[in-house]
């Protein structure tokens, strides 16, 4: 069985010394962590290793010697290191050496239990990437898992700088972020009272939402249908998660908090930018002055559309009486809508001003308010009323035709058992059914045409609201912190052992050790989005295309919202 030696690439240029690391006997592997340089006292080295074993919980020891031959005087140091093998009686004893002109190192093993001659596989690894990666968080009894766990638990060893004064001189990976760590600690100290204040405010607002006055039947129905209320609840939940004083239990929970913080900050930054644009150069007044001509133009276009439908649209022969009734009925609703718009016109600028002011809470809040305003405006206009009237009338005729069609075939719908059963009808029932079927069939084209036209208009409004909610959902669920981390430090996002590590062959020659380079294989971007996407409280219907076409064909209403807890059709 071959002996595998994991050697850090940061120590390849170190001076001659001893190898500090861990021997994993069950896998016959040696993990080199640092280089110990001369001069030193063996007793102090043993005390230092005993202190590291207590702080890390690992059996660290002197694994062997490292000889970097740059000059002739290094031969004396090499002989000195050879004599130290009797003091540090580790089995096996590793001897690594490198000539000044050589690219790779030579390795030999002494005092090995498996015999005098052992095959050696030298694996180079980056200590920094293994230290910062999350691969060690997975509990798995494998050789790679043991290597990652060894490097991850040796933070006290890496805290000692190679330039620190003391009897022990080490070379290993050392983070260069002392000033940054001080700033981080100051931010942590400042965030404690801030999180306490935020937690108190969230608890107060949550208790206000649960009052019986606000939880009554009319108000609860309205709150469940408003996108603004849903988004405010989502933001309260996010602030409560961020301001929690509990420490993150695992990597997933930490990344969720970090992504939530970045999502809130980005949302508020975009909202402030929107607010600054609205209040610059009197943009709100210009928008308010533009809305009235647009509303009048929409009313004129709808009247022209109804007049076209009341005639002979596309040369189709319509039922004159039903066409006249439907046209006048819809014309009256257009008159009501124009009167409603005229009544609201003095308050449009004030409403837009408050919408712009609400953007300081975040772009998602402003977009949710915009979606609710579109829903309220289109509730009174024919785009919604016409669709509901036409859909109900069309659905009534479709259900009537389907029931009468079963009558001709001698069948009926069993309401109790929810199935179609056989049934015998007399002559009067068949005659009356034939008469009703004929009337409904000849009136169906007129109703279907009105239903088709206003369904298309309704779907256009639903599409606009859907795009707004899609942007809000992206702001709430997109893991921006993780995406940036994947772009800047991809080695931090490694979870799976099978796909998280890859090996590249550096040299393979007969009679020499096999040399490999262990590299971190980070998660792809689609895996990052799937693994770290924030939870969404989206309660909108997610019907399939087949279900949507079926609803449109039989005349069922297509709502842009669905109450929480409702089952999908």
pLDDT in tens, 253-281: 888 888 888 888 899 899 888 888 888 77
Same domain, 52 and 119: yes
Residues 156 and 30 in one domain: yes
Tally of helices (H runs) and strands (E runs) in the chain: 19, 12
Q: Which has the closest alpha carbon to 84: 121, 53, 39, 127? A: 39
Question: Is the pLDDT confidence value at 393 over 80?
Answer: yes
Lowest-pLDDT range, 30-44, 160-174, 179-193, 401-415? 179-193
Q: Is pLDDT larger for residue 445 or for residue 142?
A: 445
Same domain, 230 and 347: no
Tokens of 429: 């029932």
Q: Report phi then psi at 517, rounded to 5.
A: -120, 115
Determine the Cα–Cα distance for residues 368 and 348; give it in Å rounded to an integer. 17
User: Residue 64 maps to which CATH number?
Assistant: 3.40.140
Residues 136 and 94 in one domain: yes
Q: What is the CA angle 349-350-356, rounded to 5?
A: 90
pLDDT confidence of 338, banded at 50, 70, 90? confident
pLDDT tens profile 446-458: 888 888 888 888 8
Count how many domains the chain has: 3
| Same-domain status, 345 and 466 | yes
**Token digits of residue 367:** 């977009």
Instruction: Confirm whether 489 is domain-assigned.
Output: no
d(CA 85, CA 562): 75
Q: What is the pLDDT of residue 140?
A: 55
Q: What is the dihedral of CA 333, 335, 338, 339, to 10 degrees?
A: -110
Q: What does the block give as tokens for 522? A: 């980070």
69 band by pLDDT with thresholds 50, 70 and 90: low
Interior angle at CA 476, CA 473 and CA 480, nearest 5: 115
Tokens of 207: 């208790």
Q: Is residue 448 part of a domain?
A: yes
Torsion angle defined by CA atoms of residues 234, 240, 242 and 243, in that order, rounded to the nearest 10 degrees: 150
Rounded to the nearest integer, the mean pLDDT of the chain is 76
8 bridge partner residues:
125
In this structure, are 228 and 127 located in the same domain? no
213 and 289 fall within a common domain: no
**Best CA proximity match to 133, nearest among 481, 488, 480, 522:** 522
Same domain, 184 and 232: yes
Q: Is the pLDDT of residue 547 over 60?
A: yes
385 lies in some domain? yes
Q: Please tell me what DSSP assigns to residue 32.
A: E
Spatial separation of the C-alpha atoms in residues 372 and 389, rounded to whole Å: 22
Final residue belonging to a domain, choices 187, 218, 246:
246
Examine the domain organization and report whether 171 and 311 are in the same domain. no
Q: Are residues 407 and 346 in the same domain?
A: yes
Structural domain includes residue 508 = no
Q: Same domain for 447 and 357?
A: yes
- The 10 Å Cβ neighbour count of residue 217 is 7
| Tokens, residue 345 | 């016109």
Q: Work out the percent of the chain whose per-residue pLDDT is above 70.
A: 76
Residue at which a domain ends, from 134, 149, 176 = 176
Whole-number Cα distances in Å, 351 to 33, 288, 290, 347, 468: 65, 9, 14, 6, 19
Pairing state between β 3-8 and 514-520: unpaired
Helix (H) or strand (E) holding 210, with range, is none
On whether both 337 and 305 belong to a single domain, the answer is yes
Domain boundary among 160, 176, 192: 176
Compute the distance between CA of residue 174 and CA of residue 127 in angstroms, rounded to an integer: 9
Q: Quote the pLDDT of residue 561.
A: 47
The answer to whether the beta carbons of residues 77 and 41 sit under 8 Å apart is no
- Is residue 92 situated within a structural domain? yes
Q: Which structural domain, as residue segments, surrounds residue 167?
A: 3-176
pLDDT category, 495, cuts 50, 70, 90?
low
Q: Within a domain: residue 515?
A: no
Please tell me the predicted confidence (pLDDT) of residue 198.
66
218-227, 481-490, 550-559 — most confident range: 481-490
Residue 525 within any structural domain of the chain: no
């Amino acid at each position: 069985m071959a002996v595998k030696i994991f050697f850090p690439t940061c120590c390849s240029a170190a001076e001659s010394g001893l190898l500090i690391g861990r021997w994993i006997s069950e896998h016959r592997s040696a993990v080199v962590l640092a280089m110990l340089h001369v001069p030193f006292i063996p007793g102090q080295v043993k005390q230092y290793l005993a202190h590291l074993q207590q702080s890390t919980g690992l059996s660290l020891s002197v694994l062997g010697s490292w000889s970097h031959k740059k000059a002739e005087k290094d031969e004396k140091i090499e002989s000195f290191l050879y004599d130290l093998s009797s003091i540090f009686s580790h089995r096996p004893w590793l001897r690594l050496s490198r000539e000044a002109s050589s690219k790779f190192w030579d390795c030999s093993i002494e005092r090995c239990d498996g015999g005098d001659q052992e095959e050696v596989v030298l694996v180079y690894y980056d200590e920094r990437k293994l230290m910062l990666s999350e691969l060690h968080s997975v509990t798995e009894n494998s050789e790679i898992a043991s290597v990652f766990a060894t490097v991850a638990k040796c933070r006290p060893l890496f805290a000692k700088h190679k330039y620190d004064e003391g009897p022990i001189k080490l070379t290993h990976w050392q983070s260069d972020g002392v000033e940054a760590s001080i700033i981080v600690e100051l931010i942590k100290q400042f965030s404690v009272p801030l999180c306490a204040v935020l937690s108190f405010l969230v608890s107060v607002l949550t208790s206000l939402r649960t009052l019986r006055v606000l939880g009554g039947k009319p108000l609860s129905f309205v709150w469940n249908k408003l996108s603004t209320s849903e988004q405010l609840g989502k933001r309260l939940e996010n602030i409560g998660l961020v301001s929690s004083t509990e420490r993150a239990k695992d990597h997933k929970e930490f990344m969720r908090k970090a992504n939530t913080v970045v999502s809130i900050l980005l949302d508020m930054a975009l909202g402030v930018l929107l607010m600054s644009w609205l209040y610059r150069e009197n943009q709100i007044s210009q928008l308010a002055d533009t809305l009235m001509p647009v509303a009048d133009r929409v009313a004129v276009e709808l009247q022209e559309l109804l007049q076209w439908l009341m005639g002979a649209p596309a040369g189709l022969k319509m039922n004159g009486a039903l066409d006249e009734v439907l046209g006048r009925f819809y014309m009256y609703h257009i008159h009501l809508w124009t009167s409603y718009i005229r009544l609201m016109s003095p308050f449009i600028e004030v409403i837009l001003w408050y919408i712009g002011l609400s953007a300081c809470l975040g772009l998602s809040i402003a977009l949710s308010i915009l979606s609710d305003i579109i829903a309220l405006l289109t509730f009174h206009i024919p785009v919604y009323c016409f669709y509901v009237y036409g859909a109900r009338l069309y659905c009534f005729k479709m259900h009537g035709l389907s029931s009468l069609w079963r009558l001709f075939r001698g069948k009926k719908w069993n309401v109790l058992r929810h199935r179609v059963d056989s049934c015998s009808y007399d002559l009067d029932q068949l005659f009356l059914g034939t008469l009703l079927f004929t009337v409904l069939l000849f009136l169906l084209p007129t109703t279907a045409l009105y239903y088709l036209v206003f369904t298309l208009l309704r779907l256009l409004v639903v599409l606009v609201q859907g795009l707004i909610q899609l942007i809000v959902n992206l702001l709430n669920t997109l893991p921006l912190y993780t995406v940036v981390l994947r772009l800047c430090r991809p080695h931090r996002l490694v979870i799976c052992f099978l796909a998280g590590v890859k090996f590249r062959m550096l040299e393979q020659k007969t009679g020499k050790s096999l040399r490999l380079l262990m590299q971190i294989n980070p998660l792809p971007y689609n895996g990052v989005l799937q693994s770290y996407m924030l939870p969404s409280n989206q309660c909108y219907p997610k019907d399939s295309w087949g279900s949507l076409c079926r609803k449109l064909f039989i005349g069922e209403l297509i709502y842009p919202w669905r109450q929480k807890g409702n089952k999908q059709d």
